[in-house]
């Protein structure tokens, strides 16, 4: 049995025997996202729910004033944020803040990996929203934002599991071994997490099929996330950067009807995001 097979066997065994504590999604974030998606929340309703978590409120206000979301005037309270962003967009911001908490929780050997993974997820969410808007799918922009945010959640969970197994079994780890293990398991494991969190089925499907060799080109959000993934890899905001990718000739670009000018502007946006993220990190 190879080292990769041995590690995968230990992961699968730990999951089957329920020995590993899986990431728990913030109940407030899930409640807000679900009710906003079902048009059950107004501005006052979302503010009332958020006020139960002052730390979440401060992070939401900080992000609402970021370059990607901000307007001309500074947002100083939740009500103003809800009015500026709208309930559904504010709900996606809450999801982003909640995810950041999960990625920053590690104090083990993969802390640096998780920081890098978070920066990638953050860039993916912004790129996915941008692509949805530019491709003429504004009604999908908030869902695309969250899909980009969650697409690698399987990697986050697997890194935590490997950290625990490393402590327990003193497994010798290399970057190559960890990368191969994540690549083999992250789609299926991430989809299982999305189901466990009772997120919309569209997310578990997208996470499960994001790396398919022949993806469903009629699934707009899948095409958006795949294009965002490759754009991030091209710009080096990825665990597998690839400066040779030609975005203009990708089937995802064609399926979404984007032009060469659109792609050039997407790259400029990601360059700005990467610069801002580097300073924040």
- For residue 61, being part of any structural domain is answered with no
- For residue 83, being part of any structural domain is answered with no
Residue 3: predicted pLDDT: 74
pLDDT tens by residue, 29-39? 888 888 888 88
- For residue 91, being part of any structural domain is answered with no
Decide: 233 and 242 in contact? Cβ < 8 Å: yes
CA dihedral sign of residues 39, 40, 42, 47: negative
Residue 5: predicted pLDDT: 78
Residue 137: predicted pLDDT: 97
pLDDT tens by residue, 201-239? 999 999 999 999 999 999 999 999 999 999 999 999 999
Residue 163: predicted pLDDT: 87
- For residue 241, being part of any structural domain is answered with yes
Instruction: Note the pTM of the prediction, 2 decimals.
Output: 0.86
Terminal CA-to-CA distance of the chain, rounded, Å?
Answer: 39
- Average pLDDT over the chain, rounded to an integer: 88
The residue among 119 and 53 whose pLDDT is bigger is: 119
Decide: 62 and 98 in contact? Cβ < 8 Å: no
Alpha-carbon gap, residue 252 to 128, rounded angstroms: 12
Query: Cα–Cα–Cα angle for 187, 91, 54, nearest 5°?
Result: 110
- For residue 97, being part of any structural domain is answered with no
* Three-state secondary structure readout of 104-151: CCCCCCCHHHHHHHHHHHHHHHHHHHHHHHHCCCHHHHHHHHHHHHHC
pLDDT tens by residue, 246-270? 999 999 999 999 999 999 999 999 9
How deeply is 151 buried, as exposed, middle or buried, from its count of CB atoms within 10 A (0-12, 13-18, 19+)? Answer: buried
Most confident of 40-49, 99-108, 254-263: 254-263
Decide: 256 and 176 in contact? Cβ < 8 Å: no
Structure tokens at 6: 């041995």
- For residue 98, being part of any structural domain is answered with no
Question: Poorest-confidence range of 73-87, 147-161, 179-193?
Answer: 73-87
- What CATH code is carried by the domain that includes residue 160? 1.10.3210.10
Alpha-carbon gap, residue 28 to 161, rounded angstroms: 25
Decide: 224 and 135 in contact? Cβ < 8 Å: yes
Q: Which domain holds residue 208?
A: 3-24+106-280
**Once rounded to an integer, what is the mean pLDDT over residues 269-279?**
75
Structure tokens at 94: 């809450």
- Measuring CA to CA, which residue among 228, 192, 221, 193 is closest to residue 206? 221
Mark 191-222 as b/e (b = at least 16 C-beta within 10 Å): bbbbeebebeeebbbbbbebeeeebeeebbbb
pLDDT tens by residue, 48-73? 888 888 878 888 888 788 777 766 57
The domain total for the chain is 1
Residue 279: predicted pLDDT: 52
Residue 168: predicted pLDDT: 81
- For residue 146, being part of any structural domain is answered with yes
- For residue 127, being part of any structural domain is answered with yes
């Amino acid at each position: 049995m190879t080292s990769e097979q041995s590690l995968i066997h230990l992961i699968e065994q730990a999951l089957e025997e329920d020995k590993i504590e899986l990431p728990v999604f913030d109940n407030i974030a899930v409640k807000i996202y679900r009710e906003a998606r079902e048009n059950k929340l107004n501005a006052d309703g979302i503010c009332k729910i958020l006020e139960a978590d002052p730390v979440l409120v401060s992070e939401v206000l900080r992000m609402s004033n970021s370059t990607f979301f901000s307007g001309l005037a500074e947002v100083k309270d939740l009500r103003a944020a809800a009015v500026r962003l709208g309930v559904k967009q504010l709900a996606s911001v809450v999801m982003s803040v909640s995810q950041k908490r999960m990625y920053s929780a590690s104090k083990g050997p993969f802390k640096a990996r998780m920081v890098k993974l978070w920066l990638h997820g953050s860039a993916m969410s912004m790129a996915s929203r941008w692509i949805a808007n530019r491709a003429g799918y504004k009604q999908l922009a908030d869902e695309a934002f969250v899909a980009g945010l969650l697409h690698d959640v399987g990697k986050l969970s697997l890194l935590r599991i490997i950290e625990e197994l490393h402590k327990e079994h003193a497994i010798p780890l290399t970057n190559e071994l960890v990368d191969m293990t994540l690549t083999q398991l992250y789609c299926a494991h991430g989809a299982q997490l999305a189901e466990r969190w009772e997120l919309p089925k569209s997310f578990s499907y997208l996470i499960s099929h994001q790396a398919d060799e022949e993806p469903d080109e009629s699934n707009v959000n899948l095409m958006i996330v795949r294009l965002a993934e490759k754009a991030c890899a091209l710009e080096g905001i990825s665990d597998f950067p690839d400066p040779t990718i030609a975005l203009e000739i990708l089937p995802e670009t064609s399926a979404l009807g984007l032009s060469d000018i659109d792609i050039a502007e997407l790259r400029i946006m990601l360059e700005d995001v990467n610069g801002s993220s580097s300073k924040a990190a």
